[in-house]
Structure 1
Amino acid sequence: MQGTIDGFRYGAVTPVAAYLMACLGGALGLRCIVRSLLDGQGWKPGWLALGAASIGCGIWTMHFIAMLGFQVEEARIGYDVGLTVLSLAVAIVVVGIGVFIVGYLGAGKGALTGAGVITGLGVAAMHYLGMAALHVDGDIRYDALTVGLSVLIAIVAATTALWAAVTIRGFLTSLGASLVMGVAVSGMHYTGMAAVSVHLHGTTGGSWAGDSAGSLLLPMLLGPVVFLVLAGVVVMFDPLLVLGDGGRGRSDARAGRVAQQPRRGPEFRTVTDGRKSRWESYARKG
């Protein structure tokens, strides 16, 4: 029996929320990578790791928020906890590999291409590991062509995001890049979901004996969401993360103007004392 799939059980709520989480993770990740490039004397690995974790958590959270709206009308679905957690680890680790490559090697063609392919494959692996965690009383099948398209979208999205991370400095331009990144990542997810079909084992509405989707996913989503909020606090309280090199450039310009200002030497004035005038030198205080 062919199952009836509905990916939008709650209407536009889950796609919009998923998109916003992808944008949040992308924006925080991009700003952290920019921060690592702006301050070569800072703790660069730490900023890159924070950026990778932000992007990975954003992508993973986007996927499973979107999956809250997924249902097979004739059967209950559930998720395997181990595979669900593994998909989060894969997202962070593989995104981290790409982020560290461009963070240390820059946006050269070879480094950017390699990092984009690795990161894109990691995003796709996270998606399909998350799908492997899904349990339903039936067989989940995929259309190979659509799966290939979703992987291609993931690679292009990852490459574009990494290029933006090492090229774009301004806050508003980074924000725009994160919005585009959210579209690409969400597009990859729903393209991958379009490849799914479910063939049910029985005709009596079989169900999985484990936890329901909502009871498992909602508590698990809490951790990554809290992490993204805390990462956002770090961004808000670090001026370089918010302003990029614009704020540093203005500070350097002011310092340059002060350094170039010549020191004033002694000046002279006429002092009249009754019948006698004389020149008196004095030094300007300060």
Structure 2
Amino acid sequence: MQGTVDGFSYGMVTPLTAYVMACLGAALGLRCVTRSLHDDRSWKPGWLALGAASIGCGIWTMHFIAMIGFQVEESDIRYDVGLTVLSLLVAIAVVGIGVFAVGYRGAGTTTLLVAGVFTGLGVAAMHYIGMAAIRLNGGLRYDTATVALSVLIALVAATAALWAAVAIRGFLTSLGASLVMGGAVSGMHYTGMAAVSVHLHGAVGGPGTGGSAHSLLLPMLIGPVLFLVLAAVVVMFDPLLVLGDGDWNRTASRRAPASRTDRPAWSGGSAFEPPPRRVSPGGESRSPGSGP
């Protein structure tokens, strides 16, 4: 017996919320990758790790917010806790491989393609491991061609996103790239969901094993969402992440007093990297902008 699948049981609330989370994770992740590439003073491993975690958490959060709207009319749905957590770890780890490859090997065509493949596979692996966590009174079956299309979307989206992280520095253009990536990730998810059909086992209405959708997913979403919020706070306090390297340099040059050529210009830096200090003629150490 084939089950009746509804992927939009809450209307457009879950798709729109999921899309926003995917865009937020992509925006934070891409800015962190940009930060590591265009500022030699930054702590590269830290920014790349933050970028990979942001993208991974954004993708995972997007997926499971969308899955809150997934229902099968004839059966309760539950989720295996171990596989649900594993899907998050796989997303961060595999995306991290692509992010670190670009961060350390540069923006060559081969590197971008290889990194894009790894990152895209991370997106797809997270999705299908998350789907494997579903427990219901039946089994899931997939249309092979539609699954292949969803994986292709993930690969193209990931490669384009990494290219954007390398090529785009300005805030507005990077924001646009994040919106596109969020749309591609959401498109990959719903393309993969279109491949799903449910075949029920015997009696209708039997529950699966594990935690129910709401009792498990809602509490588990709290952690990744809080992480994305904290990552956003880090971005807000870092001018190079907000404005982009080129934009910040132009802003700094406009603010520098033209009559004081002896004062070194601060190129922006992170909120956690203080500006260089200068020594006055009397031997007193001063920060730029602290007075004559």
- Provide the residue aligned with 2:128 in structure 1: 128
- Provide the residue aligned with 1:100 in structure 2: 100
Instruction: Go from structure 1 to structure 2 and tell me whether the alpha carbon gap of 1:141 and 1:175 turns closer, same or farther (over 3 Å shift).
Output: same
**In the alignment, is the contact (CA less than 8 A) between 2:5 and 2:71 conserved in 1?**
yes
Q: How big is the shift at 1:31?
A: 1.0
TM-score by structure 1 length? Answer: 0.88
Matched, 1:170 2:182: no
Counterparts of 1:132-281 in structure 2, within 5 Å, are: 132-245=132-245, 246-251=247-252
Q: How big is the shift at 1:77?
A: 0.6
**Deviation digits for residues 172-225 of structure 1, max 9, x if unmatched?**
111111000111000000000000011000133211243210100000000000
Give the Cα–Cα distance (whole angstroms) in 2 for the partners of residues 47 and 249 of structure 1. Answer: 23
Name the SS of the counterpart of 1:202 in structure 2: coil
| Larger-Rg structure | 1
Q: Structure 1 unaligned runs (5+)?
A: 262-285
Counterparts of 1:24-173 in structure 2, within 5 Å, are: 24-173=24-173
Q: Which amino acid aligns with 1:53?
A: A
Instruction: Go from structure 1 to structure 2 and tell me whether the alpha carbon gap of 1:74 and 1:22 turns closer, same or farther (over 3 Å shift).
Output: same
- Provide the residue aligned with 2:270 in structure 1: none
Structure 1's consecutive aligned runs of 4 or more residues displaced over 4 angstroms after TM superposition are 252-261
Name the SS of the counterpart of 2:141 in structure 1: strand
**In the alignment, is the contact (CA less than 8 A) between 2:136 and 2:209 conserved in 1?**
no
Q: Which amino acid aligns with 2:200?
A: L
CA RMSD of aligned residues (A): 1.7
Q: How big is the shift at 1:38?
A: 2.4
**Deviation digits for residues 96-127 of structure 1, max 9, x if unmatched?**
11011111222211000000011111110010
Q: How many residues align?
A: 262
Q: Structure 2 unaligned runs (5+)?
A: 263-291
Q: How big is the shift at 1:252?
A: 5.1
Give the Cα–Cα distance (whole angstroms) in 1 for the partners of residues 259 and 179 of structure 2. Answer: 40
TM-score by structure 2 length? Answer: 0.86
Give the Cα–Cα distance (whole angstroms) in 2 for the partners of residues 149 and 92 of structure 1. Answer: 22
Name the SS of the counterpart of 1:181 in structure 2: helix
Give the Cα–Cα distance (whole angstroms) in 1 for the partners of residues 259 and 206 of structure 2. Answer: 77
Q: How big is the shift at 1:42?
A: 1.6
Give the Cα–Cα distance (whole angstroms) in 2 for the partners of residues 32 and 116 of structure 1. Answer: 17
Instruction: Go from structure 1 to structure 2 and tell me whether the alpha carbon gap of 1:257 and 1:89 turns closer, same or farther (over 3 Å shift).
Output: same
**Deviation digits for residues 44-97 of structure 1, max 9, x if unmatched?**
110011011000000000000000000110000100000000000000011111
**In the alignment, is the contact (CA less than 8 A) between 2:107 and 2:163 conserved in 1?**
yes
Give the Cα–Cα distance (whole angstroms) in 1 for the partners of residues 135 and 236 of structure 2. Answer: 40
Q: Which amino acid aligns with 1:8?
A: F
